[in-house]
């Protein structure tokens, strides 16, 4: 069973590679860093625990991950073993107890055990968008900046399928 919170972090996935989020999007305070194992579910049925350095805002209990970095780490993790998973939909579910994650490096843990030691996020914002900066007239809407598409986490047509 997933531990339904209290104590869960909030989580934002930042889709803009050039945006470093040095200030918290919620309170505008300066962000720091926190390295913490994230549990990610990849369709159709794979869990991966990724020890990842998030941007972090203490007062908001907020972790911020960068989409392109997380996708890079996942691509590296799957490249040899299960490349067919690369490009699949995925969901960052929560944080894994650090001690337990460390044990998992040397001992096999079942997905159920892993989930038992995971705290899901209290609030998760998967789809944040920035507005294009600039001057706008009253009533004129700031256009949304579309994030660039994934460059590594994309489906590769297997050669078998092309034959
Ligand atoms: Zn904050």
Would 98 be classed as within a structural domain? yes
Would 2 be classed as within a structural domain? no
CA of 157 to the centre of ligand 1 (A): 41
CA of 28 to the centre of ligand 1 (A): 6
Q: Tell me how far apart the terminal alpha carbons of the chain are, to the nearest angstrom.
A: 44
Which residue range is the domain that position 45 belongs to?
10-19+30-130+143-154
Give per-residue pLDDT as tens, 130-159: 888 788 888 888 888 899 999 999 997 665
CA of 53 to the centre of ligand 1 (A): 17
Would 104 be classed as within a structural domain? yes
CA of 31 to the centre of ligand 1 (A): 7
CA of 75 to the centre of ligand 1 (A): 30
Total number of domains in the chain: 1
Would 72 be classed as within a structural domain? yes
Give per-residue pLDDT as tens, 93-125: 999 999 999 999 899 889 899 999 999 999 988
Give per-residue pLDDT as tens, 76-86: 999 999 999 99
Chain Cα centroid distance, residue 97: 17
Would 122 be classed as within a structural domain? yes
pTM, two decimal places: 0.86
Give per-residue pLDDT as tens, 20-52: 899 999 999 999 999 999 999 999 999 999 999
List the one residue out of 143, 141, 154 whose CA is nearest residue 68: 154
Would 64 be classed as within a structural domain? yes
């Amino acid at each position: 069973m997933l531990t339904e919170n209290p104590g869960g972090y909030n989580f934002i996935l930042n889709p803009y590679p050039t945006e470093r989020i040095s200030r918290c999007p919620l309170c505008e305070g300066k962000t720091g860093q926190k390295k913490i194992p994230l549990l990610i579910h990849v369709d159709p049925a794979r869990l991966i625990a990724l020890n990842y350095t998030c941007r972090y805002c203490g007062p908001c209990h907020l972790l911020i991950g960068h989409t392109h970095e997380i996708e890079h780490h996942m691509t590296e993790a799957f490249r040899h073993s299960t490349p067919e998973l690369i490009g699949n939909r995925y969901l960052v579910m929560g944080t894994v107890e650090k001690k337990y994650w460390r044990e998992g490096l040397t001992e096999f843990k079942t997905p159920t055990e892993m989930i038992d030691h995971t705290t899901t996020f209290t609030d998760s914002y998967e789809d944040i968008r920035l507005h294009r900066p600039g001057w706008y007239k009253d009533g004129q809407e700031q256009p949304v900046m579309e994030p660039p598409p994934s460059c590594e986490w994309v489906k590769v047509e297997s050669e078998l399928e092309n034959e």
